[in-house]
Structure 1
Amino acid sequence: MTKLPIQIRMSETKKAKPLSDELVFGRTFTDHMFIADYTEGLGWHDHRIVPYEPLTLDPAAIIFHYGQTVFEGLKAYASEDGAIRLFRPDENMKRINLSSDRLCMPPVNEELALDGLKQLIEIDKDWIPKSEGTSLYIRPFIIATEPFLGVAPSSKYRFIIILSPVGSYYKEGIHPVKILVENQFVRAVAGGTGTAKTAGNYAAALKAQEVADAEGYSQVLWLDGVEKKYVEEVGSMNIFFKINGEVVTPALNGSILDGITRKSILQLLRHWNVPVNERKISMEEIQTAHVNGQLEEVFGTGTAAVISPVGELNWNGTKMVVNNGETGTLSQKLYDTLTGIQTGKIEDPFGWVIKVTEDVKTNA
């Protein structure tokens, strides 16, 4: 791999690191961040690692007015053997470029971006928590920085990577969560930006999430934006249903994010010879399966939560309790296997894991 030449400015002061049992998702950030700038005609330049600090941007920067931005999410794991592991980071770099293409943004060199990430992790490796269920969350993102109020793609961008030690995404952890099926609002439609990981998709989901929170639900399950009939995805994860022995998940249709954890779970299930089907699935079908006693398990998949069992679905006021509100056998097996591969406790037969370094000191 080509080594990316990076200017490094180390932080003069170090932040206090929280204890692992005090970690919440996305609230604490490490001492440093990676930055690169893009100028039309020059390309990406000035790659640097600097202290984590506020950004200075022109008030007319396009990001503020037209939302031209994309992002990714992945994790680094500390292992019992002392190595730092990344789970399929090449897939994240591919996807950020797919998202960028949809938003008319320049691609990053995937190999060099990954090398920049590795160098950043090497510097802030002491921030990686070691306790069960913890990890170092990685947020690469690109923003449009040209000061211009015309509606057009920017000629300048900034690529940034920040790091955050995290515990479980949901306070429930691996315990089942309650999901509210959304019938009023629409997040994305085919031909829109649903397949891109861009800020606008998440801003569009905030109102529905606010309603779900008020009713005591952890997340929103989105239906298709045309008929409001077919299941698409949950706000922070893809969704799977185990119906009468078969695992069904919505097929990618142009408005569903192509999740990396989703892709990995499908590969695992097929490796185990579990029947899997990627297709359209309606809420009517799910409700019928529930009434007939065939809705055996429901779970979400995503980088943040990994596997999130669903214990209840609420659709139009009808509550469907899944597997007595308990974590299903398959959900638990998938969680244990995937996290085992990610942390090096289980052999990786797929070549998903990349080691950053062979030895790391970690905080408890």
Structure 2
Amino acid sequence: MKKFIWMFFLLLIAVIFVGTAVFLYQKSQEAPVVYETTSPFTTTIVKKTVATGKVIPRKQVNVTSQVSGVVDELYVTAGETVKKGDLVARISMAPNMVTLNHAESQLESARISFNNAEDELNRQKNLLEQELVSVSAYNKFRLSYELAKESMHSAENNLLLIREGATRQSDLVSNMIRATADGMILDVPHKEGAFIVESSTYGAGTTVAALADMTDMIFEGLVDEAEVGKISEGMELLLDVGALEGEPFSAVLEYISPQGQDDQGTIKFEIRAAVTLSDKLFLRANYSANADIVLDKREDVLAINESNLLIEEDQYFVEVQTAPQQFARREIEVGLSDGINIEVVSGLAESDKIKQQ
């Protein structure tokens, strides 16, 4: 019985030993590497750089007032289209007290002069009727009367302009603000009751309304100094407006700034491009946009993924499959790259299979 137990025990040890050896041997054998392959393909390669910026109207006008005062009534709201000369707002005058007092004093002085001239003209008229003065002497007093009368009317008009913004004879009222150009009202920054300051040689004055021609839009953006030497006027741009989930807008580059500007430690150059508008999508002022500037383009060319390319000094290679899981290095000539795909000028055919790196 004891002999049988010992034999069973030794057999168990032998089985364990053999199993362990087999396991370790199998584990030590590495699985063969299977390489995946791909083929060249025909595509269009576009090399481009990106400019960030916004879309703005080419012409934007701030409508200001010729007089200071309070906005009494507004005739427009943002989004309306107006013509040059259309009423925008009416201003209640708030004249300078020193100017008003001076105008009132001038009018009072002119009235006194007119009354004196009128009295003297009446006296001279009586003398003329009695043939005590000559006609030429009478005409001198009549001229003085007419001049005094004109001065009084001028002083009255001046006071009316200061108080009300218009004269009795004038059709143009300075406290009635009118559009200075055709376009769309973009903003009416001040509401009724707000005080505004007149425009003068010392300042632009308070903006009553901002308007622009929304049929003539431009892209205004910045290009890095490393890319600005690669672009030129007349190049095509594709605008991606993030707020509009539609097809990109096309534009034509028309201006590159001759001077760079510091933008967070890097030098960038301002560019402007004329935007071709869409009939389906309304392009609003100050939309953020990215512009893809097409530097070069190749249509329907043979290409490979650039990650499958081997580069040694100035030479370019790929590994072409010669038999299943067997590859040979082949030199090729490459062309334009967009950073993902690269053009194959020569050295490969569309039927070739190359190793994926």
Which range, TM-score by smaller chain? under 0.3
Rg (Cα) greater in structure:
2
By relative contact order (CA 8 Å, sep 6+), the higher-ranking structure is 2
TM-score by length of 2: 0.19
